[in-house]
């Protein structure tokens, strides 16, 4: 290695540079971006923060009339695709609409039970919200209705203060009020362009959370599947298992046998559809078939008299209005707000993620903030018409997509089917056994446990894996909300830690080029004697300026320790600032202090390729302009080295 | 512009490349860093996070005996400089020690009153802690003792629950206990290497906070300077001013006149020392002189009988032990812990900042974590010997430095002087008027209002300026602690926002080179037809992968709008990843999805210069390896463009 340094130096002294160094010797100026006022900058920053998708772009240069039309189309996407709707599309939508209806009816009843609500509320919630979404939503594949996780969350959070068995009316009122707040919150997030809040749920967090929630949900179904009557009110793994094994006397073998059969049937159907996506209708139809079959069996065998619990009598008729049931004051307002907030975020996350997934598959775009408004309005309207929280469900949307849905009309078809059910078919559910609902829920949530994704996370990022485990075990052992909060907290902590401890790497020259790269990554890269070249890889701010100071001094100490071996004094400290995307006042001070310290050591501080913002701030600060003198500022590391190299006096080398 | 693109393309077709493109055509491979196990990576990460200064470096390759010696020297820095101590150093230290003692005695008494404690506690706190620091501390200039901000904080926080006038003993006990916890907390921060927590107080935050606190402190002195007897117990601007103007009857003109004279005298002395740093002794001696003069005036004129309030009788003797006064249980434990935490952090911030400032001036290094342990131990010891919270004071350390202090011995000299005062001179303070203490405090804290620094912050960073204003007005109008919390919260929010909205910039070629730079900053930089080159300037993580996806699509739309004018189809999307210092699992998915979307658009995704960690993660993830094929991965943007350019078929140009 040493030979190489000296060779380079020798080359230089002979005047025999290689051509690229020659070219690099044409020094290029580092420019400042065109001046903008603070107001312009602020405007730009706000735009990038809140309107990264530039929603007003399409309005530019249009006539007033056209602008109004576009605005209406923007608010009601149905006006966009409605006029082009035709019979072919309708055929596809009817098929897919009926398919998801066959899934939505049994799932609606099951999820309502999961939320400790009357089963019929699940059907109400599959009637009104899909209609609202069809008008406002921009996804073509989203199948709207109640979902497992949000149902679980709402049920478990409200049960902390009110018992659904002792005071079912109050519980129902709180559920509607929570739904109202969830919708209000979702719509506000979209309206205030704060949609990035849901981005804080990383893939790892969601994976762990979903898997944990799936297990909690499945455990709850043991009540129905084993026929236990005195089941714990708690959710955690430990209390549920203890409740199960302390009530072995209540286990009903009729229930267990029948439940096991239907569970196996549903799981096999699910497995078939996974293996052959074309057979999506197998898993889509299986729940309804199970409901019909099990109801028939119970009806014929009068099994309800042999310890098999059934849903019982259900009301007939469409959603009654419920705005008089919303509670905006009273002792439970805190709980209701909290429940609304958490279920709102979680169901929004699911809805947006589902929308984005299928939009990417079909190469159209969904506007996150607009979707939030759509989902929010849908829940606000829902809360006044006896619906609890709904969103786009992943499993049903997948079926919708596979069944060939073309537009949101499939949601309307589904809604109409549910309406017919509500009006005429409710008595048929009287003898439907609870165990089949349990089996349907277990089959639905089992897909939330994604082992391959967990393995991927383990392979790619160990820290993310830890976050995932925290979410998973937090949900299972502590509580659903706290597990989630824990995982989000850890993710943000990691992010902050990344800012306080940015990477600094030593660059070396890739021989024969004017390229400088990380010496650790590129084994060929060589140091230039007399130069220490560092790349700083984060914005320099109050959170890391002290650290960077210490870290750079340590790099210099490292250099000096090698120096005694290589007999070359450190002359230049070159900082490659390409990756320093911003600085604050502490960052400016950092450069000033570093320069002073370097001067005392007889080392010149050279800056390379600062971005516009950094240039501007250093120019504005008093006493920092010196840092930007032509001798200390270069466009590339290569130009800096070749220019400064020529000014260096010869250092004593071992053979000279 | 267009001509240029075509010219370049034409050049290429003719085979008449410029030499640098020729050189760039020698494509260099992107390398992966050498493999390390997860454990090694974790170890490395932890080391960078908690031991950036590598404190064990000096122990490497030493004998066991030497290691022990070094360890002792590490813990007790006095062992390091003690053996080389000589008479010359002693002379300097005696001069500076006596100088700071003349400042420490009146300030000690004043600050204790500010904290609602008996004046003598201020002197106790100037006796023991400096001795402890002299043994453990590594700064040569720090003058240790009570400081204004921490005194104010402790006094105002404890007064929320306990009245210092109605229950002075309990108040004193809580003060000692808070000091104990503050010390424990400070030492733990140092021991656990969590010193970076104090970095979260940015320059802007501190500036606003200090100025606000200075005003609050000065307002409190209106009681003494106006001679008001019934003064508000609150701290805010509004209640104090209302208290002042509702008690105009209590204003004593004797007090006002005398206070005004001494205030002017002290301010003039301060002004002289600022203008001519050599005359530091003017401002250093003025407080003691004022005390002596005012005491004499009162004694001679018997002014205490004319409405001028005096300190009164003080005990004589050294610090009594106070470990029996520490309360570790009871109803006030929460308050005491909170007070300890906040005063601990604030006084630590001041102490460390002062130590670093003077170390930088004299070019030696102070170890932040070691200093924290020293200051923490000093406070724990102090709390058992009737001292309240102490740290390195900025004003006194400056005087110490100017007076020529060479080592921590100046602290010992100061401490001895205070001891003599405590033993023999206490009766002399009996007739010292409170107004002179008020004048001393106002003069001391007025230096905390740093208008030029505020102007600098305004010039450099508008956002930092807002943070500063929040801290300032928060302290003045809400409360000292909440103003501080507000400013820290906003700073962290900004940091998180920076992560969620990273910059993406379009790069263009600087003509005649193979350098690519931000087109906005470098007006000369030109686009290459068919290429969109983006640089992403932050780690890609869960918090920003959705945003980046949307933003990149918008860049492509922008390109396509121009496309229709320039007749060139987008063929390649080149992402310069030099500034992407890390990715997580969401980041990996981001690349995979972006690639899929680009493929559907017929655009090839090309990555340039990924850092080691990004390479590794993309290699480990299933289905992401395709991203790293040689055709899609280059070392520099120049190489990528020239290599891909040659594979492009000719696009129809306007004149062809």
Give the tens place of pLDDT for each residue, B297-337: 988 888 777 778 888 888 888 899 998 888 888 888 999 99
> Are residues A196 and B515, on separate chains, in Cβ contact within 8 Å?
no
- The H or E element spanning position A505 is strand A504-509
Q: Which residues contact A168 (CB under 8 A, 6 or more apart)?
A: A118
Which tokens sit at A487? 């995982």
Q: Binning pLDDT at 50, 70 and 90, where does residue B418 land?
A: very high
Task: Round the average pLDDT of chain A to a whole number and report it.
Answer: 85
> By three-state DSSP, how is residue A343 classified?
helix
Amino acid B14: pLDDT: 42
> pLDDT confidence of A108, banded at 50, 70, 90?
very high
Q: For position B3, what pLDDT does the model report?
A: 36
- Residue among B537, B593, B617 minimizing CB distance to A461: B617
Q: Which residues contact B410 (CB under 8 A, 6 or more apart)?
A: B92, B93, B94, B96, B97, B100, B143, B400, B403
Residues 6+ apart with CB under 8 A from A203: A453, A457, A464, B542, B585, B586, B589
Shortest Cα–Cα distance, B40 to chain A (Å): 12
pLDDT of residue A15: 40
Residue A217 CB partners (closer than 8 Å, separation 6+): A114, A148, A149, A152, A441, A442, A445
Label residue B608 by pLDDT band (50, 70, 90): very high
Q: Quick: pLDDT tens for A472-516.
A: 999 999 888 888 888 888 888 888 888 888 888 999 998 888 889
Contacts B542 to A, Cβ<8 Å: 199-205, 491
Length of chain A counted residue by residue = 656
Give dist(CA A270, CA A447) in Å, integer: 9
pLDDT at B575: 94
Q: Nearest Cβ partner of A621 from B48, B460, B611?
A: B460
> What is the pLDDT, as a whole number, of residue A305?
78
CB contact under 8 A, A496 and B500: no
pTM of this prediction?
Answer: 0.80
* HSE value, Cβ hemisphere, 13 Å, CA-based, for B44: 7
Separation of CA A303 from chain center: 46
Helix (H) or strand (E) segment spanning residue A171? helix A168-191
Q: SS3 of A534, please?
A: strand
* Total beta-carbon pairs less than 8 A apart between chain A and chain B: 249
Q: DSSP per residue over B295-354, as a string?
A: HHHHHHHTGGGGT--B------SSPPP-GGG---SSTTHHHHHHHHHHHHHHHHHHHHHH
Where does A363-433 have alpha helices with state H? 368-383, 394-402, 409-420
Q: Cβ contact (<8 Å) for A52 and B547?
A: yes
Do residue A520 and residue B612 have CB atoms under 8 angstroms apart? yes
Q: Would you state the pLDDT for residue B12? A: 44
Are A541 and B200 within 8 A, CB to CB? no
Contacts of B42 in chain A (CB under 8 A): 462
Give contacts of B636 with chain A, Cβ < 8 Å: 515
What mean pLDDT value characterizes chain B?
85
Closest C-alpha among B180, B179, B128 to residue B319: B128
Q: What are the beta bridge partners of residue B540?
A: B583
Q: Which chain A residue is nearest to residue B601, measuring alpha carbons?
A: A363
Structural domains present in chain B: 2-31+501-647 (3.30.750.24), 39-75 (no CATH), 80-495 (no CATH)
CB within 8 Å: A42 and B462: yes
Mutate which: A53, A464, A585, vs B, most B CBs within 10 A: A585
Radius of gyration of chain B (CA): 32
Measure the CA–CA gap between B258 and A435, rounded to whole angstroms.
Answer: 90
CB pair distance less than 8 Å for A513 and B32:
no
Q: Which residue has the higher pLDDT, A86 or B247?
A: A86
- Return the biggest CA–CA distance within chain A: 106
Considering only CB atoms, B636 lies closest to which of A202, A515, A550, namely A515
Length of chain B: 656
CA distances (Å), origin A90, targets A25, A95, A255:
68, 9, 42
DSSP state of B474: I
CA distances from B367 to A415, A587, B80, B192, B353 (A): 69, 21, 14, 14, 12
- Judged on CB neighbours under 10 Å (0-12, 13-18, 19+), B224 is buried
How does residue A25 score in pLDDT terms, banded at 50, 70 and 90?
A: low
- pLDDT above 50: residue A653: no
* Interface mutation vs chain A, best among B41, B521, B547, most A CBs within 10 Å: B521
Q: Is the pLDDT of residue A150 over 70?
A: yes
Chain B residues touching A196 at Cβ < 8 A? 500-501, 543, 546-547
Which residues in chain A are contacts of B200 at CB distance < 8 A?
542-543
Of B461, B596, B597, the CB nearest to A584: B461
- Of the candidates A461, A554, A588, the beta carbon closest to that of B584 is on A461
Nearest to B593 among A360, A521, A537 (CB): A360
CB contact under 8 A, B57 and A557: yes
Report the gap between the CA of A516 and the closest CA in chain B (Å). 10
pLDDT-based confidence at residue A24 (cuts at 50, 70, 90) = very low
H or E element in which residue B509 lies: strand B504-509
Minimal-distance CA residue of chain B relative to A456? B621
CA A72 to chain B, closest CA, distance in angstroms equals 23
Q: Is the pLDDT of residue A186 over 60?
A: yes
Which of A23, A57, A521 faces B31 most closely, judged by CB atoms?
Answer: A521
pLDDT (tens digit per residue) in A367-381: 888 899 999 999 999
* Complex ipTM value: 0.82
Confidence band of B617 (pLDDT split at 50, 70, 90): confident
Query: Residue A69 is encoded by which pair of tokens?
Result: 């039309």
**Do B327 and B174 meet the contact criterion of CB atoms below 8 Å apart?**
yes
Read off the pLDDT of residues A204-259 as tens digits, 9 standing for 90 and up.
888 899 899 899 889 988 888 888 888 887 788 888 888 888 888 888 888 888 99
Output DSSP code: residue B517. E
Closest by CA position to B653, among listed B574, B526, B565? B565
What tokens were used for A385?
């018409």
Phi, psi dihedral angles at A56 (to 5 degrees): -90, 0
Distance from CA of B170 to the nearest CA of A (A): 37
Which one, of A280, A347, A286, lies nearest residue A144 by Cα? A347
**Closest chain B residue by Cα to residue A21:** B20
Taking residue B602's Cβ as centre, other Cβ atoms within 10 Å add up to: 9
Percent of chain A with pLDDT over 90: 26
Buried b / exposed e along A433-464 (16+ C-beta atoms within 10 A): bbbbbbbbbbbbbbebbeeebbebbbbbbebb
Q: How far is CA A336 from CA A178, A340, A434, A478, A598, in A?
A: 5, 6, 28, 21, 59
Instruction: Give CA–CA dist B595/A15, Å, rounded.
Output: 47
What is the mean predicted confidence (pLDDT) over B83-95?
A: 90
- On chain A, the residues whose CB falls within 8 A of the CB of B545 are 199
Cα(A375)–Cα(A145) distance, rounded to whole angstroms? Answer: 11
Q: How far is B25 from chain A (nearest CA, A)?
A: 11
Are the CB atoms for A454 and A206 separated by under 8 Å? no
CB contact under 8 A, A52 and B464: no
Q: Is the per-residue pLDDT at A72 higher than 50?
A: yes
Segment B386-402, tens digit of pLDDT: 999 999 988 888 888 88
Structure tokens at A213: 């929630």
Q: What is the pLDDT of residue B649?
A: 57
Task: Decide if B209 contacts B475 (C-beta within 8 A).
Answer: yes
Listed in sequence order, the residues at least 6 apart from A397 whose beta carbon sits closer than 8 Å to its beta carbon are: A141, A142, A143, A354, A358
Query: What Cα–Cα distance (Å) separates residue A269 from each residue in A256, A282, A439?
Result: 20, 6, 12
Q: Among B501, B578, B609, select the one facing A48 at the smallest CB separation.
A: B501
Mind listing the pLDDT tens digit for each residue in A307-317? 788 888 888 88
- Tell me the chain A residues in contact with residue B551 when contact means C-beta distances shorter than 8 Å: 52
Residue A583 is classified by DSSP as B
Determine the pLDDT at residue A21: 43
- In angstroms, the first-to-last Cα distance of chain A is 17
A306: alpha, beta or left? (left if phi > 0; alpha if psi -120 to 50): alpha
Which helix or strand (DSSP H or E) is residue A588 part of? helix A585-600
As a dihedral over the C-alpha atoms of residue A291, residue A294, residue A298, residue A304, rounded to 10 degrees, the angle is -70
- Residue A468: list chain B partners with CB under 8 A: none
Sheet with A604-608: strands ordered across: A516-518, A504-509, A531-536, A572-576, A604-608, A633-634
Residues of A in contact with B534 (CB under 8 A): none
> Measured between beta carbons, which residues in chain B are less than 8 angstroms from residue A615?
521
Question: Percentage helix, strand, coil, to 5, in chain B?
Answer: 65, 5, 30
Pair A464, A457: CB distance under 8 Å: yes
pLDDT of B22 reads: 41
Quick one: pLDDT at residue B75? 83
The answer, yes or no, to whether residue A651 has pLDDT greater than 70, is no
In this prediction, residue A310 carries a pLDDT of 84
The label of the residue with tokens 């009301």 reads A315
> d(Cα B398, Cα A240) in Å, to the nearest integer?
66
Nearest to B559 by CA among B572, B548, B546: B572
Cβ within 8 Å, pair A522-B203: no
Q: How far apart are CA A598 and CA A592, in angstroms?
A: 10
pLDDT in tens, B12-21: 444 433 434 4
Q: Which residues, 6 or more positions from A193, have their beta carbon under 8 angstroms from its beta carbon? A: A50, A51, A369
Mark yes or no for CB contact B521/A31 under 8 Å.
Answer: yes
Contact by Cβ (8 Å): A635, A30: yes
Q: Which of the four pLDDT bands, split at 50, 70 and 90, describes residue A23?
A: very low
Of B54, B463, B621, the CB nearest to A459: B621
The token duo for B529 is: 């037809």
CB A227 within 8 A of CB A439: no
- pLDDT at residue number B654: 42
State how far the Cα of B91 lies from the Cα of A94, in Å rounded to an integer.
98
Partner residue opposite B456 with nearest CB, options A53, A460, A585: A585
- At which residue do the structure tokens 């004046």 appear? B119
Contact residues, chain B, for A596 at CB < 8 Å: 360
Residue B364 has pLDDT above 50, yes or no: yes
């Amino acid at each position: 290695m040493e030979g190489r340094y000296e060779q380079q130096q020798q080359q230089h002294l002979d005047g025999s540079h290689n051509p690229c160094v020659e070219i690099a010797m044409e020094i290029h100026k580092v420019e400042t971006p065109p001046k903008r006022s603070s107001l312009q900058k602020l405007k730009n920053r706000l735009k990038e923060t809140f309107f990264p998708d530039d929603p007003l772009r399409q309005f530019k240069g249009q006539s007033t009339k056209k602008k109004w039309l576009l605005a209406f189309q923007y608010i009601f996407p149905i006006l966009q695709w409605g006029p082009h709707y035709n019979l072919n599309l309708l055929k596809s939508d009817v098929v897919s609409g009926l398919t998801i209806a066959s899934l939505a009816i049994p799932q609606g009843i099951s999820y309502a039970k999961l939320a400790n609500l009357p089963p019929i509320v699940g059907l109400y919630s599959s009637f009104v919200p899909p209609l609202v979404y069809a008008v406002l939503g921009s996804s073509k594949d989203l199948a709207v209705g109640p979902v497992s996780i949000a149902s679980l969350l709402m049920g478990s959070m409200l049960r902390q203060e009110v018992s659904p068995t002792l005071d079912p009316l109050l519980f129902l009122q709180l559920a509607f009020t929570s739904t109202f707040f969830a919708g209000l919150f979702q719509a506000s997030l979209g309206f205030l362009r704060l949609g990035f809040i849901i981005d804080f749920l990383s893939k790892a967090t969601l994976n762990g959370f979903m898997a944990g929630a799936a297990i909690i949900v499945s455990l709850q179904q043991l009540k129905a599947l084993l026929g236990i009557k005195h089941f714990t009110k708690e959710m955690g793994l430990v209390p549920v298992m203890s409740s199960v094994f302390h009530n072995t006397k209540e286990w009903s073998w009729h229930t267990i046998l029948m439940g096991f059969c239907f569970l196996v049937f549903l799981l096999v159907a699910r497995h078939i559809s996974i293996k052959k996506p074309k057979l999506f209708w197998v898993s889509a139809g299986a729940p309804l078939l199970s409901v019909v079959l099990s109801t028939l069996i119970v009806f014929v065998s009068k099994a309800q008299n042999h310890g098999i619990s059934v849903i019982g009598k259900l009301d007939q008729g469409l959603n009654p209005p419920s705005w008089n049931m919303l509670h905006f004051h009273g002792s439970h307002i805190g709980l209701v707000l909290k429940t609304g907030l958490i279920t709102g975020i979680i169901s929004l996350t699911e809805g947006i993620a589902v929308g984005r997934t299928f939009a990417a598959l079909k190469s159209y775009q969904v506007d996150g903030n607009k979707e939030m408004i759509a989902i929010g309005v849908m829940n606000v309207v829902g809360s006044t018409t006896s619906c609890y929280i709904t969103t786009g469900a992943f499993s049903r949307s997948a079926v919708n997509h596979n069944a060939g849905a073309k537009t949101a009309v499939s949601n309307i078809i589904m809604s109409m089917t549910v309406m017919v059910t509500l009006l005429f078919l409710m008595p048929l559910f009287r003898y439907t056994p609870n165990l089949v609902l349990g089996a349907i829920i277990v089959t639905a949530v089992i897909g939330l446990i994604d082992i391959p994704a967990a393995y991927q996370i383990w392979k790619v990022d160990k820290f993310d894996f830890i976050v995932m485990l925290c979410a998973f075990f937090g949900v299972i052992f502590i509580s659903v909300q706290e597990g989630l909060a824990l995982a989000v907290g850890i993710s943000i902590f990691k992010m902050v830690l990344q800012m306080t401890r940015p990477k600094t790497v030593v660059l070396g020259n890739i021989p024969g080029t004017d390229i400088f790269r990380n010496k650790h990554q590129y084994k060929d890269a060589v140091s230039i004697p007399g130069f220490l070249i560092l790349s700083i890889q984060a914005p320099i701010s109050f959170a890391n300026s002290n650290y960077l100071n210490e870290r750079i001094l340590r790099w210099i100490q490292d250099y000096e320790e090698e120096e005694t071996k290589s007999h070359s004094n450190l002359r230049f400290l070159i900082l490659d600032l390409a990756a320093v995307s911003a600085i604050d006042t502490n960052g400016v001070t950092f450069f000033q202090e570093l320069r002073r310290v370097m001067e005392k050591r007889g080392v010149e501080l050279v800056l390379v390729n600062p971005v516009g913002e950094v240039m501007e701030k250093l120019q504005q600060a008093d006493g920092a302009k010196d840092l930007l003198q032509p001798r200390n500022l270069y466009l590339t590391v290569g130009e800096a080295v070749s220019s400064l190299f020529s000014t260096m006096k010869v250092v004593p080398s071992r053979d000279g």
